[in-house]
Each structure stands twice: as structure tokens, then as C-alpha cells.
Amino acid sequence: MIVRFVRDSIRRSPKRKALIIAAIALGTSVATAMLGVMLSIGDKINVELRQAGANILVTPKTAALMGGTGSVTTNLAGDIQESDVPNIKKIFWALNITGISPSLQARDGDRTIQGVEFDNLRQLNPTWKLAGRAPMSGSECVAGEGITRKNNWTLGQTINVLGQPCSITGILSTGDQADDRILLPLATLQSLIHKPGIVDRIDVAALTKPEDDFARRNPKTMTSKELEKWNCTNYVTSIASQIQEAVPGSEARPVRRVADSEGKILDKIGGLMALITLAALLSAGLSVWSLTATTMMERRGEIAIMQAIGGARWLVAALLGSEIALIGLAGGIAGALTGVWLARVVGQSVFHDAIEISWILPFLIMLAAMLVALAGAAQPLRRALRLEPAIILREGI
């Protein structure tokens, strides 16, 4: 009887039922797309932000960091063994490390000379622009745009670096302090200043989670369980701590300008998507409320008859609620399928990569669609059930 009632009830007013399904489908499709992107957006945005450069700076313990912007003044008494650099890829969060660039600095009069591994440097800073090419031998170098302009150098010109002739094969434009430096192959600079196998700086790019209050706590004040949780979360501070332990004689610290920017961007994007999701579901609920209110007004006589012949209010509410829940489920299925497709379109167009949606999300969205439909219909249904059957039937007569 209940099944037949619900089936026959759904068949009535098909256009209005279709509008309810469409409203729920529209709201849940937006919710599915936003939640799908939001749940998988962290790493993708981190990958995009990694183009801004390193977010962890490793220096000898005797080095002094200046202002947390990435600039360094180094005490040459402290150095890092180049052979220890691969240890960074052996830490717990090794898979989150996307780039490592060891380097060594020296002074040649008033000029800063930096030895780098050019392949690693380009991987860490893909937005840097190089006119020309990277050095292919020890007699070649790259000059920053600023120092090139200051000295009126040109591409292909031979200059003197640390007493050795060096041909400029490339002019580098970065927008930061590297514009005022001369870059040599790391092995070449190590040989020129008699420091084989030594580096004094390692720039590291890592995929990290935005910091919260727990991340900013001092690990020395944590209990063993808290410390384990801290180490097992990819905070920039916990990754830096593990790098410091892996590289003897080093001090690893977050580059706050980069790390803080990542957290703010992710928080704002996540908050915006959550707001859009709530707005979409609220709009769907209001649409259900409007359409259901009209339906309940039209079906007052039917509800009054069911109550007059002995139907309890809870039973009538269950019958009508089952109908509304099934309509919500239909809208949720349509919305979930459409939302998964929309999430993949967003991922492909924004990140040029497909968004992977967990199979749990569509089922949660279907459940949410049923709840939205019931929530939207609750007030009109409650109002219809509170009407006196005798009065409604007398009006009908």
C-alpha cells in the first residue's frame, strides 16, 4: 500500500516534480564539483605555487638568515658536504620534495659569484627566464640581468671571474637577487675557491599543508603522541626539521614569504569553494520549499481524508516524506554524475590534469540531496499536517 501510494503520488504533477529534481540536480552538481575540486586541489595548487621557488632554505648552522625572505649572509667557517644533499630524498616526506638545488657562494671584489647545478635550478624556478643557454663547460657562465646592465656586458662576451676568463652564454632574468650575480657550474666554483664537495646553501621545494596553530607549536614542548602527529603531517616546519636531521651541520628553516603565501591562498580558495557549495545547496532547498508549498496547498484535501479515516500524522508525514526523499534522490543522482564531470572539466582547464573524485563523494552527495529535499519540504508539510481535517473537508464540500 505504501509503495503504491508513493508511486501514484510521484506520478502526479510531473512538471512540478521535474522542476524539483532539476533544482536539486543543479545545486548538487555544483556542490559535487566544488567539493571534488576542493578535496584534491591542495597538491595541485602546491605544484603550481612551487613555481614561485623554494619554500625551505638549508644553510650551515653558522649561517644567519636575514628577515625570512630567503636572503642569506654566510659565515664561511660552516659548510655542508655535497655528499649529504641526497639524504634529503631519504626523509619520511621524500615524495613531497619536488626540487633540490645546492649552491655555493663566493666574492670576487664587489661581485657575488654563485655556483649552481643549472638543471636543478631550472626545475626549482621554472619562471626564471634565460636568454641564451646554460654553461656547458667550466669556462662559461650565466650573468644576471642586473649585473649585465650595470657593466654593459653582452651575450657571448668574455669576462674575468675569480681570475679566470669566462664566456657569458646566458643572461638570467629572475626579479630577485640572482639578477645581480654571476652563476657558474657548481663544480667549477668549488674548484676555483678550493672547496671541492662543499655547498653553503640548499634550496628545497616541498608540497606542504598550510600551517595551523598546532604546526606553529614548539616541538620540544610536545608530548610523544603530539610529536608523532606533527612529524606525520606535511607541515613546512616538520619537513624542515626532518631535513635538518638528515643533513649534518645544517639548519633548515621555512622561507616564510613563500610558505605563508601558500597557506593563505589555499585557505581562501577552500573557503570560497565551501561558500559556493553551501549557497548551491541552500538555493536548491529554497526551490524545493517553494514548489512543495504549492503542492501541499493543492493536496490539502487528500491529506485531510487520510487523517479523517484514522491516519496518524506521523504516518502521513512518512508517506509524503518518502515521496520527497525519492525525488531528492533522483535529483542527487543526476547532480552527482554531472558534478563529477564538471570537476574533471575544471581540473583539465585550470590545472591541465584530471581531478580524481573519491567514490564516496557521489554517495554523500546523494544523501545530502535527500536531506536538502526533506529540509526544504519540512515547513510546508508541517503546515499542511496541522490543518484541521474537518475544516478542509467542509471547504471542499
Grid coordinates 575540486 are at which residue? 37
Give backbone dihedrals phi and psi of 98, rounded to 5 degrees, phi first.
-105, -10
Q: Does pLDDT of 65 surpass 50?
A: no
Residues 104/189, Cβ–Cβ less than 8 Å: yes
- Position 71 scores a pLDDT of 40
The pLDDT-based confidence of 77 (bands split at 50, 70, 90) is very low
Give backbone dihedrals phi and psi of 256, rounded to 5 degrees, phi first.
-60, -35
- Position 80 scores a pLDDT of 92
Share of the chain above pLDDT 90, in %: 37
**Which of 22-36, 118-132, 157-171, 349-363 shows the lowest per-residue confidence on average (mean pLDDT)?**
349-363
- Position 73 scores a pLDDT of 40
Cell digits of residue 255:
622561507
* Helix/strand number for the chain, H first, E second: 12, 14
Measured CA to CA, the distance from residue 33 to residue 309 in angstroms comes to: 47
What's the Cα-to-Cα distance from 370 to each of 12, 328, 375, rounded to whole Å? 20, 4, 9
Cell digits of residue 259:
610558505
- Position 49 scores a pLDDT of 57
Measured CA to CA, the distance from residue 297 to residue 287 in angstroms comes to: 16
Report which listed range, 160-174, 205-219, 343-357, is most confident.
Answer: 160-174
- Position 158 scores a pLDDT of 95
Judged by DSSP in three states, 194 sits in coil
Measured CA to CA, the distance from residue 356 to residue 40 in angstroms comes to: 7
223-235 as b/e: b if 16+ CB within 10 A: eeeeeeebbebbb
- Position 393 scores a pLDDT of 67
Judged by DSSP in three states, 332 sits in helix
Give backbone dihedrals phi and psi of 249, rounded to 5 degrees, phi first.
75, 20
Convert the pLDDT of each residue in 319-338 to its tens digit: 778 888 888 899 999 999 99
Convert the pLDDT of each residue in 245-299 to its tens digit: 999 989 999 886 655 555 566 667 777 888 888 888 888 888 888 888 877 777 7
Residue predicted with more confidence, 315 or 223? 223
What's the Cα-to-Cα distance from 248 to each of 60, 116, 232, 240, 245, rounded to whole Å? 9, 20, 22, 13, 7
40 φψ region: left (φ > 0), alpha (ψ -120 to 50), beta (else)? alpha
Q: Does pLDDT of 72 surpass 50?
A: no
* E runs forming strands in the chain: 56-60, 64-65, 72-73, 80-81, 97-108, 111-116, 129-132, 140-144, 158-161, 164-173, 181-185, 198-199, 201-206, 250-254
Convert the pLDDT of each residue in 334-392 to its tens digit: 999 998 888 888 777 766 666 777 788 889 999 999 999 888 888 888 877 776 766 66
DSSP 112: E
* Average pLDDT, rounded, for the chain: 82
Range 171-189 average pLDDT: 93
How many C-beta atoms surround the C-beta of residue 385 within 10 A? 17
Judged by DSSP in three states, 354 sits in coil
Query: What residues have CB less than 8 Å from 65, skipping those under 6 apart?
Result: 57, 59, 71, 72, 253
Residue predicted with more confidence, 64 or 197? 197
Residue predicted with more confidence, 397 or 178? 178
Measured CA to CA, the distance from residue 346 to residue 200 in angstroms comes to: 42
Range 175-190 average pLDDT: 93
Residue predicted with more confidence, 74 or 336? 336
Grid coordinates 650565466 are at which residue? 142
Measured CA to CA, the distance from residue 354 to residue 368 in angstroms comes to: 25
DSSP 306: H
Residue predicted with more confidence, 33 or 347? 33
Cell digits of residue 277:
557549495
- Position 384 scores a pLDDT of 75
- Identify the bridge partners of residue 72 per DSSP, sorted by sequence position: 65
- Give me the residue spans of the domains in the chain: 2-47+263-396, 55-254
How crowded is the C-beta side of 338, counted as CA atoms within 13 Å? 15
Residues 235/266, Cβ–Cβ less than 8 Å: no
Give backbone dihedrals phi and psi of 367, rounded to 5 degrees, phi first.
-65, -40
Residue predicted with more confidence, 323 or 393? 323
Convert the pLDDT of each residue in 107-129 to its tens digit: 999 999 999 999 988 888 888 89
